[in-house]
Chains A and B, each alone.
Chain A
């Protein structure tokens, strides 16, 4: 778990998709940063938004709420939202919240972009 004061979020274009890669823990203090980054990424309404969670080793309920909100907003904006490369910890948290069946999950960024 990373306990730094900020959540680094890399953003890059890949074809008609935007890929966001947050790095660090997503908790009550940092989930607003992820929410803002997702909102900014969705403004131009890309065909696809991929959240690469390979560098997120911890997520609390505020992080889960951010993902659910992103899913709802993506549906309203006709953006396809995909999550990829979940760490075992984050995957287990999604499963306990039964959200693993709600999101489109992919093993890797490449598979998410190719879907």
Chain B
């Protein structure tokens, strides 16, 4: 007989360096699997996180590699799925200004916002008290 152990939350603190994104993806994929997402669902959750972190590095910290980013990954309270809470102390960006381009306009760039909003079930992007941004992503397992 094997006991079912609920996945534990994971907290990460990283610098705003692109080369660290692969390690964060690996942790997110692993927890997403243990929270009941299928392989494509895990990939999509990790991609939504990745796009969020890329935005923080590129636009929030404007390419600086010494900015701090906090990531908390946790199982959803009800049902199968997980949540990511991503916080930074970068430049505050008006969420209304973060609009993706139309997909009918085929050109390089501008796909990140579309992916972030499409790939997860909940996406919230709000300024933090004291500076920076907080992004909450949630993805539920397919029924």
Name A's B-contacting residues (CB within 8 A).
1-5, 25, 27-29, 58, 60-62, 64-66, 68-69, 72, 88-89, 92-93, 96-99, 102
Given A61-B54, A89-B39, A92-B43, answer yes or no on A72-B108 (Cβ-Cβ < 8 Å): yes
**CB <8 Å contact, A64 and B111:** yes
Q: B115 near A: Cβ within 8 Å? A: yes
Q: B72 near A: Cβ within 8 Å? A: no
* Cα–Cα distance between A68 and B57 once the two chains are bound (Å): 22
Instruction: Name the contact of B51 in the complex, choosing from A4, A58, A60, A98 (C-beta under 8 A).
Output: A60
Known: A99-B106, A102-B106; 6 extra A-B contacts, CB below 8 A, are A2-B22, A3-B22, A28-B18, A60-B51, A60-B112, A60-B115
Chain A residue numbers with a CB within 8 Å of B46 are 1, 58
How many inter-chain contacts with C-beta < 8 Å in the A-B complex? 82
Q: B47 near A: Cβ within 8 Å? A: yes
Q: B23 near A: Cβ within 8 Å? A: yes
Q: B126 near A: Cβ within 8 Å? A: no
**CB <8 Å contact, B107 and A68:** yes
Q: B35 near A: Cβ within 8 Å? A: no
Chain B residue numbers with a CB within 8 Å of A102 are 106
Main secondary structure of the interface of B (DSSP, over half): helix
Query: Nearest chain A CB to B54's CB is how many angstroms away?
Result: 5
Instruction: Name the contact of B112 in the complex, choosing from A61, A69, A89, A99 (C-beta under 8 A).
Output: A61
Q: Which of A62, A64, A68, A97 has the most CB of B within 10 A?
A: A62
**CB <8 Å contact, A29 and B111:** no
Query: Nearest chain B CB to A29's CB is how many angstroms away?
Result: 4
What are 6 A-to-B residue pairs whose CB atoms are below 8 Å? A27-B18, A60-B112, A68-B108, A92-B44, A96-B118, A97-B103
Instruction: Name the contact of B22 in the complex, choosing from A1, A72, A98 (C-beta under 8 A).
Output: A1
Query: Nearest chain B CB to A8's CB is how many angstroms away?
Result: 14
Query: Nearest chain A CB to B84's CB is how many angstroms away?
Result: 15
